[in-house]
Amino acid sequence: MDRQVRQALIIEDYQAAAETFKELLEMLGCEANYVMAGAEAPQALSQRDYDVVFMDLNLPDISGIALVKQLRTLAAGRMPKFVAVSGYAEAELGKEASDLFDFYLEKPLDMNNLERILQSF
Amino acid sequence: MTIQQQEWLVAGIKHEIFMRIFPTLRHGLVGPISIARMSASIVRRLLSKGESSKAALGEPVERIDQQLAEAVAGIRALQAWEPEASGLAIPAEILRQGIALMTAPLALRDIKMDYVPSDIQDLEEVRQQPFLYAWLALLCYFEDQLNEPATLRLEQKEPRSVCVEVTRPFYDVNQTKGRAKAHARIIDKFALEAVANAGGFRLKFGQEWASFSWT
C-alpha cells in the first residue's frame, strides 16, 4: 500500500483508553477516530475507507468476535485490517478469535508491536 | 465425607471458579497500566522532538498519575479474594460484580447476560466473598450446562433471592458453528450446591431456570 497516512478506527468503550490510543496513532502518522460502542462501529466503518480497525474485544454491548464477523460482512469492498486489542492473552481467546483477526495486540500496548503492525500492510 | 474432605472439595471448586474469572481480574488491572504505558510513549515521543513544555507534557503526565492510582486501587481490591477476607457489601453490588466478572468468559461461549433492574431495596450488607463465590458458581453452572447461544435473564423477583432464567434466540446464524472448547472441570449441580451450601445459600432449580437465595 502506497498511502502514507493510515486511516484508523478504534473501537474502545473506555474513553481514556480510546483518546490516548488515538493520540498515539496520530503521533505515528495515522488519522484516527474512535467509537465507544460496538453498535456505532458499522456506521463509522461505512463513512470512511479505513485501513485498519483496532478493536477492544471486551465491549459491553457485543462480543468482539460477533462484531468482527459483522464488520467483515459490511466491509465487503476494501477490507481493512482488523486488529484485536485485549488484556487477555491471545491463547485465552480461542482459535475462532485468532482466525477472525489479522493481528493481535496485547495490552499493555507495546510500541514496537504497534509500529510493526502499521508497517506490515 | 468428613468435614475436612468437604472443605477440600469446596476449596477445589472455588479454585476452578477463581481460575475462570482470573483473566478478567487481570484484564481489569492491565487497562490502566496500558493507558499509562501509551501515555509514557507519547511523553517519550514529545521529548524526542524537543517538546518539553508544561503545556505539552502536563496532560499525559497527569494521565499516567491517574491511571497508576487506578491500577493501585485495583491491586488493593484483590484483597477481597484472600481466604481471610471478611468484607461486607450489599447483595445488589455483589451481583453486579459477579456479572462484570463473568461477562467476558460467557461471551466467549455465546452466552449473554441481561440484568433486569429491580425495585427491591436490599440494603443489608452480607459477607462479600462467600456470596460472590456462590453467585459465580451459579453463573459458571449455566456456562457449563448451555451448549448453544443463549441469554441469561437475571432478575431479583423477590427480596433476598435472584433468579437466572435461560432464554434462547429463535434463530441464530452462529448456531451451527462450533463453540469454544468446553472446560475440563465442569461446574455441575453437585459442585454448585457444594459451594452454595458452604456459604449458607439456598438453590432452587427449574426446567430452564435456577434461583439463588440468601438469609
Predicted-complex ipTM score? 0.85
Q: A50-101: per-residue pLDDT in tens? A: 999 999 987 877 888 889 999 998 876 678 999 999 887 766 667 777 889 9
Q: Interhelix angle for B3-48 vs A15-27, to 10°?
A: 40
What pLDDT does B147 receive?
87
Mean pLDDT across chain A, nearest whole number? 87
Note whether A101 and A93 are within 8 A (CB): no
Burial of B102 (0-12, 13-18, 19+ CB in 10 A): buried
Which is nearest to A86 in space by CA: A71, A103, A73? A103
Q: Do A16 and B35 touch (CB under 8 A)?
A: yes
Distance CA A59, CA B56 (A): 31
Q: Do B108 and A63 touch (CB under 8 A)?
A: yes
What pLDDT does A2 receive?
46
Distance CA B171, CA B105 (A): 22
Taking the CB of residue B147, how many other CB atoms lie within 10 A of it?
10
Distance CA A17, CA A15 (A): 5
Mean pLDDT of the region A8-31? 94
Sorted by sequence, the CB contacts under 8 Å of residue B202 that are 6+ apart come out as: B196, B212, B213, B214
What pLDDT does B208 receive?
93
- For chain B (length 215 residues), average pLDDT per consecutive 10? 92 96 90 94 94 91 96 94 92 94 87 89 90 97 92 93 90 55 82 96 95 92
Instruction: Please check the confidence at residue A1 and state whether its pLDDT lies above 80.
Output: no
**What pTM, to 2 d.p., does this model score?**
0.81
Distance CA B100, CA B60 (A): 29
Chain A residues whose C-beta sits inside 8 Å of any chain B C-beta: 14, 16-17, 20-21, 23-24, 27, 57-58, 60, 63, 65-66, 86-89, 92-94, 96, 107-109, 111
Mean pLDDT of the region A27-38? 94
- With cut-offs at 50, 70 and 90, classify the pLDDT of residue A3: low
Distance CA A35, CA A69 (A): 17
